[in-house]
Chain A
Amino acid sequence: MPLEVNLTLCLPRDTKTVPLVRHLIGAMLEEFGVMLECRGDVELAVTEACANVLDHSKVDDEYEVRVAVDPDRCQIRVIDTGHGFDFSTLSEESDPYSERGRGVQLMRALVDRIHFESEPEAGTIVHLVKDLHFAP
């Protein structure tokens, strides 16, 4: 895949935007010939990152998803202007009977690199990097 593509989405804080983001990124990776399992990992990881925004931002906030795809990897930044979140408080394994708290666990398992930046009242950036595998 010789192309390098950058895409920026500016979105309202609405649950309907989560499948929209997932479908757009999935379609782009499919167009580039990325393997199904790899696409599925990216789609789920970005879904969790966007759902996290809905959890931790204010009702009227907007958020941004920046996608950069090159022949080696897909980098996604999900950026919100909410009240921030202390990711260091999250444990690697959640209570198996908890009804919440598996989003970060899934993101960590599905992408190759993940980085969180968050400051109180200054929003959060979730940076996901997935090495891409292409169909032969």
Chain B
Amino acid sequence: MDLGLDVSERNGYAVLAVSGEVDVATVPRLREQLHGLVAQGSNKIIVTRDGVDFLDSTGLGVLVGALKRVRSNDGDLFLVCTQPRIRKVFEVTGLTKVFSLFDSVDDAVAS
């Protein structure tokens, strides 16, 4: 299954909608996309993952790397995710304490 990456803008946030499967085979594209957003000056990023069917530890690592980059620029990276299967990956690894997780882009923008 391929990886879908779609970028839009919302109230000053770059919104990256990710769909498909994020694993060791597809994660280079996600890393490139996030690095590109940061390089273009985006320091407020929302990553939506409701279209993600699968997420492994390599995907988590790329998200943590992007989080550190934007926070070093006084920005932040928020995650939108309601799927229990994907949320479980964050809970098991303790990353719910590192990332701000939201149920919708509206909630993330309003935070």
Contacts and interface: CB of A to CB of B under 8 A. Distances in A.
9 contacts: A15-B24, A18-B25, A19-B21, A47-B24, A50-B24, A94-B93, A96-B94, A97-B64, A102-B60
Nearest to B21: A19
B21 A99 contact: no
Interface residues of B, number: 25
A51 B64 CA distance: 18
B54 to A, nearest CB: 7
Interface of B: 1, 21, 23-25, 54, 56-58, 60-62, 64-65, 68, 84-85, 88-89, 92-95, 97-98
A40 B57 contact: no
B92 A54 contact: no
B57 A103 contact: yes
B94 A19 contact: no
A102 B54 contact: no
A22 interface: yes
Contacts of B58: 51
Contacts of A67: none
